[in-house]
Amino acid sequence: MSNNDLAVIVLAAGKGTRLKSSLAKVLHRAGGRTLVEHVVRACGPLKARETVVVVGYQAEQVTAVVEPLDATAVLQQPQNGTGHAMQVAKRALGRAKFAIVLPGDAPLVRTETLKELITVHRNGNAAATILTAVLVDPSGYGRILRKTETTVSAIVEESQLNDEQREINEINSAIYCFTLEKLWPALAQVKPNNKHRELYLTDAVAAMNAKGDTVLAHVAADSREVLGCNTRADLAEVDRIFREWKRNALMDAGVTIQLPETVLIDPDVTAGEDTVIEPGVQLLGKTKLGERCTIRTGSVLNDAVLGDDVTVEPHCVVVESRLENSVLIGPFARMRPGSHLKTGARLGNFVETKKAVIGEGTKVPHLTYLGDAKVGPKTNIGAGTIICNYDGFHKHPTNIGRGVFIGSDSVLVAPVRIGDGAYVAAGSVITENVPADGLGIGRGRQVNKPGWASKKRRELAAAGQPKKTKKKSKRRKTSRKRK
């Protein structure tokens, strides 16, 4: 389908009073993106000649979201209704013959549905074609007054419904295809005859009918696609639907998701075949999972890139980090930005890394912090090892070679290098480089005193128990404190 006679117009200038928020409605997020971004992205594959977004409330922030998507923002100030927003959009339009018009707050619409709408409009030679839906609960939406089985005589807004019209459950999605030379004269006749004194785009439908123009309706096959987000409850419902669609797409691609309704996955996340995602997992940002990975319960991955056969045990947090094939982390591991585990490396419980490259097959099994560090392959980092990478002013690097053994409870004060094959004795505070194959010991020497303990016990027994009066005076002190 060639659409070089088509413009896309997204109406996104309103505040969204019903959300009770300082943030513009179209900047609220559902399904991992702002509402307006979903709408503009859905129109991308239509390959229209131009995309115009009408902005007003928090115009700068909305513009910053849509301009990278190749849309042009035009300012509507003040916001006098959807009809007025269209008059503003007109100023920015080139020579398009048709326009797809969408509200910025109905983010579930799919490209396929928009293509159908355009086809119905072109084939029917209509002045306007409205995307409608039949809802069990139509409250809050404008209702469709049918003229014939295929045509529409008017749209009546919720606030202007009479009792009979209130029973109509076919609603206006506020997504339309217009023939622009028919729309502009009809819109010019619309008056702000409502309690908000706004120009309603919906009133253009009755004006078109009065001129004898054809207005068609196209009913969306899946009524969920047209849901608008006017309230927090609407946002939650739309988010739930997006998440469900994303999980279904991954399951169709061969991913196992246990208790799917508990798993939150952002739209750009990918996962390979036979990967298993346990309940309560969040996969966010541009996270990529390879094949046969297991992400166990309660883990949160954000912009994480995993190879194949990676296991993330329960309750790990991984941000902007890379885990190569066959890596295992957790439970309770935290990988902060810039962490990179090479093939077969392991991080155990209560291990934190930041800007740390950990070599192939290296093990960091328990209770450790590694920051600004490079660790070679086949090295073992003992329990409780801490890198002091920060001196209060600057961060310093630590370099640990291949096949190194760091004894438990050691502190490595950066900058410091531990050469290949070296040992660090348990409990050391290492402030100087340790040469390859050497042993670094940085602790007080142990002294044993034979018989010391029994001598001490005899001394204590001879001295007797402490006097009771002392204890009493202590108690009095504490009771006074409590008062």
Give the active site residue among 340, 366, 394, 396: 366
Q: Please, what is the minimum distance in Å from the beta carbon of residue 55 to ligand UD1?
A: 8
List 6, 7, 13, 208, residue binding ligand UD1 (CB under 6 A): 13
Write down the H helix ranges in 15-110.
Answer: 35-43, 59-66, 82-92
Longest dimension (CA), the chain: 115
Question: Omega into 78 within 30° of 0, i.e. cis?
Answer: yes
The structure tokens listed for 340 are 């990179």
Q: What is the C-alpha to C-alpha distance for residues 43 and 38, in angstroms, rounded to an integer? A: 9
Give contact residues for Mg ion (rule: CB under 5 A). 105, 228, 230
- Counting beta carbons within 10 angstroms of the beta carbon of residue 153, is it exposed (0 to 12), middle (13 to 18) or buried (19 or more)? middle
Please identify, using beta-carbon distances, which residue of 3 and 230 lies nearer to Mg ion: 230
Q: How far is CA 374 from the centre of its chain?
A: 30
Q: Residues 6 or more apart from 320 whose CB is under 8 A from it?
A: 302, 303, 304, 336, 337, 338
Q: Is 107 in the site for ligand UD1 (CB under 6 A)?
A: no
Please identify, using beta-carbon distances, which residue of 238 and 424 lies nearer to ligand UD1: 238
Please identify, using beta-carbon distances, which residue of 173 and 311 lies nearer to ligand UD1: 173
| Binding-residue pattern over the window 191 to 210 for ligand UD1, x denoting contact by CB under 6 A | ---------xxx--------
Please identify, using beta-carbon distances, which residue of 82 and 113 lies nearer to ligand UD1: 82
Please identify, using beta-carbon distances, which residue of 28 and 334 lies nearer to ligand UD1: 28
Using the contact rule CB under 6 A, the part of the chain among 104-112, 341-349, 389-397, 420-428 near ligand UD1 is 104-112
Q: Is 171 in the site for ligand UD1 (CB under 6 A)?
A: yes
Q: What is the DSSP track for 376-409?
A: -TT-EE-TT-EEE-B-SS-B--EEE-TT-EEPTT
Q: What is the C-alpha to C-alpha distance for residues 368 and 311, in angstroms, rounded to an integer? A: 19
Q: Is 105 in the site for ligand UD1 (CB under 6 A)?
A: yes
Q: Please, what is the minimum distance in Å from the beta carbon of residue 270 to ligand UD1?
A: 30
In Å, what is the CA distance from 305 to each residue of 46, 272, 295, 360? 31, 12, 13, 17
Q: Residues 6 or more apart from 300 whose CB is under 8 A from it?
A: 281, 282, 284, 316, 317, 318
Q: Please, what is the minimum distance in Å from the beta carbon of residue 92 to Mg ion?
A: 22
Q: Which helix (H) or strand (E) holds 210?
A: helix 203-210
Q: Say which amino acid occupies 402.
A: R
By a kind-dependent CB cut-off of 5 to 8 A, residue 200 interacts, out of Mg ion, ligand UD1, none, with ligand UD1
Q: Please, what is the minimum distance in Å from the beta carbon of residue 16 to ligand UD1?
A: 7
Cα atoms in the Cβ-side hemisphere of radius 13 Å centred on 476: 6
Please identify, using beta-carbon distances, which residue of 228 and 440 lies nearer to Mg ion: 228
List 34, 113, 172, 275, residue binding ligand UD1 (CB under 6 A): 172
Q: Which helix (H) or strand (E) holds 456?
A: helix 452-463
Using the contact rule CB under 6 A, the part of the chain among 97-105, 287-295, 305-313, 431-439 near ligand UD1 is 97-105
Q: Please, what is the minimum distance in Å from the beta carbon of residue 34 to ligand UD1?
A: 12
Please identify, using beta-carbon distances, which residue of 56 and 401 lies nearer to ligand UD1: 56
By a kind-dependent CB cut-off of 5 to 8 A, residue 84 interacts, out of Mg ion, ligand UD1, none, with ligand UD1
Question: Please, are residues 93 and 49 in contact by the beta-carbon 8 Å criterion?
Answer: no
List 5, 116, 157, 274, residue binding ligand UD1 (CB under 6 A): 157
Q: What is the DSSP track for 412-442?
A: EESSEEE-TT-EE-TT-EE-S-B-TT-EE--
The answer to whether residue 366 is catalytic is: yes
**What letter does residue 148 receive in the DSSP assignment?**
S
- Name residues contacting ligand UD1, limited to 66-85 (CB under 6 A): 76, 79-82, 84-85
Please identify, using beta-carbon distances, which residue of 174 and 177 lies nearer to ligand UD1: 174
Using the contact rule CB under 6 A, the part of the chain among 167-175, 215-223, 378-386, 410-418 near ligand UD1 is 167-175
Q: Is 104 in the site for ligand UD1 (CB under 6 A)?
A: yes
| Binding-residue pattern over the window 225 to 264 for ligand UD1, x denoting contact by CB under 6 A | ---x-x----------------------------------
Question: Please, are residues 91 and 74 in contact by the beta-carbon 8 Å criterion?
Answer: yes
Q: Residues 6 or more apart from 14 whose CB is under 8 A from it?
A: 24, 25, 26, 56, 57, 79, 104, 105
Which of 361, 366, 360 has the alpha carbon at shortest distance from 347? Answer: 366
Q: Is 174 in the site for ligand UD1 (CB under 6 A)?
A: yes
Q: Please, what is the minimum distance in Å from the beta carbon of residue 347 to Mg ion?
A: 47
Q: Is 87 in the site for ligand UD1 (CB under 6 A)?
A: no
Please identify, using beta-carbon distances, which residue of 162 and 473 lies nearer to ligand UD1: 162
Question: Please, are residues 307 and 291 in contact by the beta-carbon 8 Å criterion?
Answer: no
Q: Please, what is the minimum distance in Å from the beta carbon of residue 69 to Mg ion?
A: 21
Site size for ligand UD1 (CB under 6 A) = 31
Catalytic residue positions, numbered? 366
User: Which residues bind to ligand UD1, rule: CB under 6 A?
Assistant: 11-14, 26, 54, 56, 76, 79-82, 84-85, 103-106, 141-142, 155, 157, 171-174, 200-202, 228, 230
